[in-house]
Amino acid sequence: MTDTADLKKTPLYDAHVAAGARMVPFAGYLMPVQYAEGVLKEHLWTREHAGLFDVSHMGQARLRGVSPLSAFEEITPSDFIGLAPGKQRYSLLLNKKGGIIDDLMASRPDDDGLFVIVNGACKDGDFKFIDNELAPQVKIERLEDRALLALQGPEAAAVMAKHAPDSLTLVFSEARAMTAFGLPAFVSRSGYTGEDGYEISIPGESAQAVWDMLLADPRVKPIGLGARDSLRLEAGLPLYGHDIDETTSPIEADLSFAVSKKRRDAQDFPGASRIAKELAEGPSRVRVGLKILEGPPAREGAEIADGTGAVIGKVTSGGFAPSLGHPIAMGFVPPAHASVGTKLNVIVRGRAGAAEVVAMPFVPKRYVRKL
Amino acid sequence: MRFTKDHEWVVVEDGVATVGITAYAAEQLGDVVFVETPEVGKTVKQGEGFAVVESVKAASDVYAPVSGEVVEANTALGDEPETVNAAPEHGGWFAKVKLSNPAEVDALMDRGAYEDYLGTL
């Protein structure tokens, strides 16, 4: 058990406790897993209104240097040179075997370099890796004094309108420095719930004031990590350390969109030979979505079996889908069992429950791609 | 009503114990979305897992607070698992167990002792 005394707190720790949060250790921080209403209601609130998440545990950094865009391509499969100012891209840090060190969001501010956001549990390792690989070409400036809030849901844009009018000029996957809440903010129209919404980077010392301003709006409620996880699961989005890790390639993980066409042609990224081979011949396993047709939720680690009872894979994340009213899961199976409609079984507590391969996302994404 | 340190409750009538989880346990679990009750006829031993309750996030074992034979299971929880949250000490019961060792019940906490115990958590 982690000694809570060793855990860090985000600038919003006191705000969470005051709001009735249950705090748990997560990624080295004490974070709110849920508030008084509970995961189910928080999840549905986000799908119907606007949910406010403290994601300040995530790693924020600016990458600057002589040629940070081309340098960052050395450790990722993305086209960053072709990334226009004001645009954001989902990308992956890759090891030499084409395995995923972490997934990340990188955006190109109007000025120089990149603004990257990486997973909280991975951030120290990620920044060390980037430094080892790319220094002195690239200089990492960790933005540890900044908080990160996510406002997600169909009413997020209307809520943001009064605090950050410039945010309404963004569409999905755009990010810009702007004045928001009267502060120097960096705002992207993105998130990890499948909903329209924003991620807002602000000075840590102002986080409480921004948090209070947003919660003063009756359309906004604070949402914990529990619902964040069920929302991203319904959106079919992989979670690092669970659905993807250093052994998983982007192709196996159904993230081939993160391997840019230009880079596929050039084959100049870590693990390019494995990834090119998997693109050409197909990988030996692939991430699929499963609808659990009967029985209990199949959670991480549950075995997946075919109709004959042979174990063919494992669930990497799963649980109850509040928006759908039944359990869902993600897991890896051989391509022969990966077609939508394939009937499989998940083994939970020794018993086989019927499941079916379904298309992801489980719940349609509602990103705003055009104004 | 008697209570265990694992947050189960027991009510005994004519040698049969009705068993559930306490309001405290239901609140800690959060929204219950699935309940697996034991099969009728199954023999259970005090302290062993005999049912499973799942919240959105996690599965948790429910331990038999007494030994005996399961004579009835609350199968209604299959369709309405949320009853465990709404009425943990009434409609949200899990199973009825015919006691094989009634003395086990006497060793469980009464409500006052259980509430004192909750105060220490």
Closest-CA distance, B44 to chain A, in angstroms, reads: 17
- Chain A residues whose CB is inside 8 A of the B30 CB are 34, 38-40, 226
Name the average pLDDT for chain B.
Answer: 95
- Chain A residues whose CB is inside 8 A of the B31 CB are 38-41
A4 pLDDT higher than 90: no
Q: Report the pLDDT averaged over residues A157-186.
A: 97
Closest-CA distance, A234 to chain B, in angstroms, reads: 12
The encoded tokens of residue A337 equal 């069992």
Q: Report the pLDDT averaged over residues A261-280.
A: 97
pLDDT for position B96: 97
pLDDT per residue over A56-68, tens digit each? Answer: 999 999 999 999 9
Closest Cα to residue A367, out of A193, A177, A221, A159? A193
pLDDT per residue over A8-26, tens digit each? Answer: 999 999 999 999 999 999 9
Phi, psi dihedrals of residue A250, rounded to the nearest 5°? -60, -30
- Chain A residues whose CB is inside 8 A of the B55 CB are 39
Mutate to test the interface with A, among B27, B29, B31 (most CBs of A within 10 A): B31
Closest Cα to residue A185, out of A206, A170, A168? A206
Contacts of A135 (CB under 8 A, 6+ apart): none
- Chain B residues whose CB is inside 8 A of the A33 CB are 57
CB-CB under 8 Å, B54 with A229:
no
**What is the spatial distance between Cα A19 and Cα A13, in angstroms, rounded to a whole number?**
10
- Looking up tokens 């109007």 gives A110
pLDDT per residue over A229-238, tens digit each? Answer: 999 999 999 9
**What is the spatial distance between Cα A360 and Cα A92, in angstroms, rounded to a whole number?**
20
- Interface A-B: count of C-beta contacts within 8 A: 44
DSSP state of A167: G
What DSSP string runs through A53-113? EE-TTSEEEEEEESSHHHHHHTTSSS--TTPPTTBEEEEEEE-TTS-EEEEEEEE--SSSS
Contacts of A22 (CB under 8 A, 6+ apart): A32, A33, A34, A35, A224
User: What is the CA angle A203-A367-A244, rounded to 5?
Assistant: 75
- Interface residues from chain B to A (CB-CB < 8 Å): 30-31, 33-34, 36, 52, 54-59
ipTM of this complex = 0.86
CB-CB under 8 Å, B33 with A34:
no
Per-residue pLDDT band for A104 (boundaries 50, 70, 90) equals very high
What is the share, in percent, of chain A residues with pLDDT greater than 90? 97
A3 pLDDT higher than 90: no
Closest residue of B to A322, CA-based? B56
Measured from the Cβ of residue A365, the count of other Cβ atoms closer than 10 Å reads 16
CB-CB under 8 Å, B54 with A39:
no
pLDDT for position A2: 52
What is the share, in percent, of chain B residues with pLDDT greater than 90? 97
CB-CB under 8 Å, A297 with B57:
no
Name the average pLDDT for chain A.
Answer: 96
A331 pLDDT higher than 90: yes
pTM: 0.94
Q: A322-355: b or e for each residue (b if 16 or more CB lie within 10 Å)?
A: bbeeebbbbbbbeeebbeeebebbbbbeeeebeb
CB-CB under 8 Å, A34 with B30:
yes
